[in-house]
Chains A and B, each alone.
Chain A
Amino acid sequence: MSKSAVIKGTSYVLVHTPEFVIHNGTTQTTERLVNPDSTYLAALPNHIRSYEDAVAYPPNQVFLGSKKPEILSGIEMPWCNTKLEDAKRFGTYGELMPEDEFYGLVAICDVFDLVILETDFAAMVKEKLAGHPLIGEDLISRIRDGISRDNIETYVKEEHGEPLFHKGAMVGYVKRAHDIDETLSAHVLFENLVYKASSVLALLHLIKNTDINKGDIDYVIDCSEEACGDMNQRGGGNFAKAAAEIAGFVNATGSDTRSFCAGPAHAIVEAAALVKAGAYKNVVVFAGGTTAKLGMNGKDHVKKELPILEDVLGGFAVLIGQNDGINPEIDLSLIGRHTVGTGSSPQAVISALVTEPLDRSGLSITDIGKYAAEMQNPDVTKPAGAGDVPESNYKMIAALAVKQGVIERTAIPDFVAKHGMPGFAPTQGHIPSGVPYLGFAREDILEGRIDKAMIIGKGSLFLGRMTNLFDGVSFVVRKNRGDATGDGTSEAVSDTSVKKPVIGIAAEDSELGSDVVAEGIALAEKRGFIVKRIEGVDCHKKMDELLAGKGIDACLTMHYSFPIGVSTVGRVVTPGRGKEMFIATTTGTSSADRVEGLVKNAIFGIIAAKASGVKEPTVGIANIDGARQAEAALLRLRDGGYDIRFANSARRDGGVVMRGNDLLAASADVMVTDPLTGNLLMKLFSAFTTGGNYESTGFGYGPGIGENFDKLILILSRASGAPVIANGVEYAAQLVENDWKTIAKDEFAKAKEAGLASILGEIKERSKSSDKNTDTSTAETEAEVAMPPKEVVTAEIHGIEVMDIEDAAVSLWKKGVYAETGMGCTGPVVLVHPDKEEHARNLLAEGGYIHQ
């Protein structure tokens, strides 16, 4: 596999900070100095937006990933006139944090006792933060008890403290850290602490979004436009480590990269190079937000009767890691660079950043699916006379394409629409610089909408008065080229004539740690199996994509919601004789009816055993409730012509019903049981030599089998140890090599021919009549209720009785909520679209299916 670094995930955060606009934005602080009685300052408070309005603001929802950038094209400008009704604080990539909670986070990030909050305010903030899903007690306990308001006012006056306001009241202050040193003044420290806190928020969301262990991050790069140090080393740094410390990345070192707004693009190229070179494995590039730029264009917004649109801090984080064969690669052969000699004409800049790298690789401007240069929200910039910045960048790229003869001049608008997108990022300098699209780019590439995206960072170095130069760097993110190629140079490909199955492992939840999974994979590879590890929070999505696209032939995973009718056949080595035995089944649910389920499990077990090379497997039924009825049904099936070989108990009285002793001795090749008992047996057989929490023997919980279920997904436990993982790979490879799909099809066909349907029908009829209460409640069938439009269902609702699960789903359909049923790891679940989860829960609670 190529060594290219990949983008494993992103996070984007916003913080609503109306008071910082008034007290800290440089437009306002400057105005207060030069023109303290200005009409602007007087009018300003009337133009401040509420938190709810900031949340409902369409570009903010796009930045958080809840909406696609394209929706903005359909909204009339100014966008601030539109409030999205379904807007939420938490989005796909992060959140929009309110000001009061953010003060708490600022206090958490203070390690020098510089932030002092007022007593009641501190208590209130602590209480609010206790409800935050990502900020734990360890962080909250860092907020110290407050002091009285009178004391705050005294300190602000006498000690040059920077006052902190919320809803117009003074709620705390930041101390200066030195009496003379300007770089340690309260104003600068506040700015830096705000920056640090918004960075930490982005880091916490990145951890959640990528599911990586904090300890696995070994390098962090901060790429903002802030400076921290003292008067002897004004830009000493290192924001990166300061934020990583609070976020808990104990194994990370790091550094700061600066180049005005081009910083993020430089930092990502550096990170990709570090990973590709092998210096570090997991590098996080991040930046927080800046108070100085809040309300930067406020005068124009007020003049045009608009709200102050620059009222949020922005932040982002990106995880760059080793090639996993799935996530989009950062192609270091396609870097665009603005050099000292490039010059500053827009044409020279865009040529250097866009066409030069493409020309080097023989690509055309139109080969890049999407470009992302400066994603500033035009709602902010247009009223200020700075135009639509992303649009002019796209026009520049289109104009170059015209000059190169790739497109006609009249095609510029089409090019802009196809290869660009509306700007949606807050004007926080480095934040909008190309990177806001990375989250969407990753999704667009993973889901096949585009192959390549170019991210362009541009920086105004001349503002620092050290040079008149401009700066810029660009890089290309492209679809993962998998095993076959690496940066254009092909590596050895395994001989296709002896093509071995590729087994995926999406095991992100191991209780034993990521290392154990790696150990299991290494063990399997040593035995000659081909394994592909799938990582990230969305590993199940990737797994499904890879299975569908034949990138892998089978996959091992933990927690998978199989549909009802599918359950897994485990495989263990029994202690009595060291003999292998299939446990049918171990997770999932074959049927809501116990006896029907046992009968089906017998067939599933036979399929798994045959596909694992056991030609004529013997079947026994564990001595559990329903065993006798299942035995009778299976006998009828045999009489109908289905070739089933019954095992004989090793106990003196024999028979097909197996006692505990038979389990230990593996008297049957296939042991039929209900999945809950089967699951229990799996754990006993797998962990009885280790004291319990490390499952060291056997082959895991096995493949999900069911009629018409054609994906090969095998289940591992979160406690599956390295040998079990390796055996699981072997189990999967055998099933693929023995063509399990055909075997399953044959067995189902034969059972059907032997009258399976009527036998199962009778079983169900009997159990129904034995439970008269269910007759009326289940009268309504799915067919009588119109199915709402199908949608992606990923939110699991637990706690519904297995007998009621189908009725629960139908009850949601009746209310227009599309739902599916499945088996979660702790029982049956109803699956709905995440946006409808709350509504569905309420409906299910009303219907008595769950208790809220």
Chain B
Amino acid sequence: MDLENQKRVKEYSEQFGPENLVVILGAAEGEAAGLAAETVTAGDPTYAGPLAGVSLGLKVYHICEPEMKDEVDAAVYDEQVGMMEMVLDVDEIVKEMSAIREQYTKY
């Protein structure tokens, strides 16, 4: 994950409390989604950014996951994301995200 984005995540987690913060991803692939999710939960696996060795354990979802789809307005979702459901490998994304959450999310 981009260094600036890691910095922001860290700052907001401190500011609002990690239990009040949710990170939503839009990654194009399962693997990339998993890496980003890992960064905001277990810490930066590439040890390059401010979250290296920092386990925030934040709640993290990909916007294409069913939990998100259930909560947002269906018409807006269809307009903003609908088409990409046909393009992205949603199953793969869900699999990666669930695995990371089970392992590292604390909230």
User: Chain A interface (Cβ within 8 Å of chain B)?
Assistant: 30-31, 34-35, 38, 299, 345-348, 350, 382, 384-387, 392, 395-396, 398-400, 402-403, 409, 412
Contact = CB atoms under 8 A, between A and B. Distances in A.
A345 B87 contact: no
Interface in B54-81: 79-81
B48 interface: yes
Given A35-B47, A299-B46, A347-B79, A385 B86 contact: no
B29 A412 contact: no
Given A38-B47, A346-B84, A399-B87, 18 more contacts: A30-B3, A30-B48, A345-B79, A345-B80, A345-B83, A347-B79, A347-B80, A350-B83, A385-B27, A385-B35, A386-B28, A387-B32, A392-B87, A392-B88, A396-B83, A396-B86, A398-B86, A412-B86
Interface in B1-49: 3, 27-29, 31-32, 35, 46-49
A345 B76 CA distance: 10
A92 B104 CA distance: 53
Contacts of B31: 385
A interface, over-half SS: helix
Given A299-B46, A345-B79, A347-B79, A34 B3 contact: yes
A392 B48 contact: no
Contacts of A386: 28-29, 32
B83 A399 contact: yes
B53 interface: no
19 contacts: A30-B48, A31-B48, A35-B48, A38-B48, A345-B80, A346-B83, A347-B83, A348-B79, A385-B29, A385-B31, A386-B28, A386-B29, A392-B87, A395-B86, A395-B87, A396-B86, A399-B83, A403-B83, A409-B86
A347 B87 CA distance: 11
B51 to A, nearest CB: 12
A31 B81 CA distance: 34
Contacts of A347: 79-80, 82-84
Given A386-B28, A386-B32, A34 B48 contact: yes
Contacts of B48: 30-31, 34-35, 38, 299
Contacts of B46: 299
Contacts of A345: 79-81, 83
Given A346-B84, A399-B87, A385 B3 contact: no
B48 to A, nearest CB: 6
Contacts of A35: 47-48
Contact of A399 (B49, B79, B80, B86): B86
A392 B85 CA distance: 11
A53 to B, nearest CB: 26
Closest 6 CB pairs of A and B: A385-B32, A347-B83, A399-B86, A345-B80, A387-B28, A395-B87
Contacts of B32: 384-387
Contacts of A395: 86-87
A412 B88 CA distance: 13
A331 B24 CA distance: 41
Given A35-B47, A35-B48, A392-B88, A385 B83 contact: no
Contact of B84 (A34, A38, A396): A396
B79 to A, nearest CB: 6
